[in-house]
Amino acid sequence: MSGRREANKRDKHKRIIEAAHRLFREKGFDKTTTNEIAAAAGVGTGTVFTYAPTKDDLLIQVFHKEVAFSIDSALPEAMEQASLIDRTIAFLDFFLAYFEQDIPLARALMRQLGYVQSEAQRDLVLDLFRRASLCLVEILEDGQKTGEVSADVSLETAAATMFAIFHLNIGPYLSGMINRKEFDASLREGLKAFKRGL
Amino acid sequence: MSGRREANKRDKHKRIIEAAHRLFREKGFDKTTTNEIAAAAGVGTGTVFTYAPTKDDLLIQVFHKEVAFSIDSALPEAMEQASLIDRTIAFLDFFLAYFEQDIPLARALMRQLGYVQSEAQRDLVLDLFRRASLCLVEILEDGQKTGEVSADVSLETAAATMFAIFHLNIGPYLSGMINRKEFDASLREGLKAFKRGL
DNA sequence: TCTTTTTTTTGACTACGCTCAAGTTTTGAT
DNA sequence: ATCAAAACTTGAGCGTAGTCAAAAAAAAGA
Query: Mapped to the 3 state alphabet, what secondary structure does A141-188 carry?
Result: HHHHHCCCCCCCCCHHHHHHHHHHHHHHHHHHHHCCCCCHHHHHHHHH
Are A175 and B116 an interchain contact pair (Cβ–Cβ within 8 Å)?
Answer: yes
Alpha helices in B42-154, H assignment, sequence order = 45-51, 55-79, 84-100, 103-113, 119-145
Give the closest-approach CA distance of A156 to chain B in angstroms.
10
B174 at A interface, C-beta within 8 A = yes
Q: Verify whether the Cβ–Cβ distance B171 to A195 is below 8 Å.
A: no
Instruction: List chain A residues with CB under 8 Å of B149.
Output: 198
> pLDDT of chain B along its 198 residues, tens only?
567 788 889 999 999 999 999 999 999 999 999 999 999 999 999 999 999 999 999 999 999 999 999 999 999 999 999 999 999 999 999 989 999 988 888 988 888 877 888 888 889 989 999 999 999 999 999 999 999 999 999 999 999 999 999 999 998 999 888 999 999 999 999 999 999 998
Judged by C1' against the alpha carbon of A32, the nearest nucleotide is D16
Q: Can you give the pLDDT at residue A176?
A: 86
Using a CB-CB cut-off of 8 Å, the residues of chain A touching B168 are 114, 160, 163-164, 167-168
CB B57 within 8 A of CB B120: yes
- In angstroms, the first-to-last Cα distance of chain B is 66
Nearest nt (C1') from B35 Cα: C16
Q: Which chain B residues are Cβ-neighbours of A113 within 8 angstroms? A: 171
A164: nearest CB among B110, B115, B164: B164
Does residue A45 lie within 7 Å of nucleic acid chain C, judged by its CB? yes
Assign B155 to helix, strand or coil.
helix
Which of B85, B111, B115 should be substituted to probe chain A, the one whose Cβ sees the most A Cβ atoms within 10 Å? Answer: B115
- Looking at residue A46, its pLDDT comes to 97
State CA A48 to chain mean position distance.
23
pLDDT beneath 50: ranges in chain A: none
Rounded CA–C1' distance between A50 and C6, in angstroms: 17
Phi, psi of A35 (to 5 degrees): -65, -40
Q: How far is residue A154's CA from residue A159's CA, in Å, rounded to a whole number?
A: 9
- What Rg, from alpha-carbon coordinates, does chain B have? 19
B111 in contact with A, Cβ within 8 Å = yes
Output residues with Cβ under 7 Å from nucleic strand D. A 1-5, 8, 31-35, 45-46, 49, 53-56; B 5, 8-9, 12, 43-47, 49-50
- Does residue A147 come out as left (phi exceeding 0), alpha (psi in the -120 to 50 range) or beta? left
Dihedral over alpha carbons B82, B86, B91, B92 (to 10 degrees)? 180
Select from A154, A165, A167 the Cβ nearest to the Cβ of B193: A154
C1' of C4 to CA of A46 (Å): 26
Q: How far is B90 from chain A (nearest CA, A)?
A: 18
* Per-residue flag: A9 CB under 7 A of strand C: yes
Q: What per-residue confidence (pLDDT) applies to B190? A: 96
Closest-CA residue in chain A for B188?
A: A157
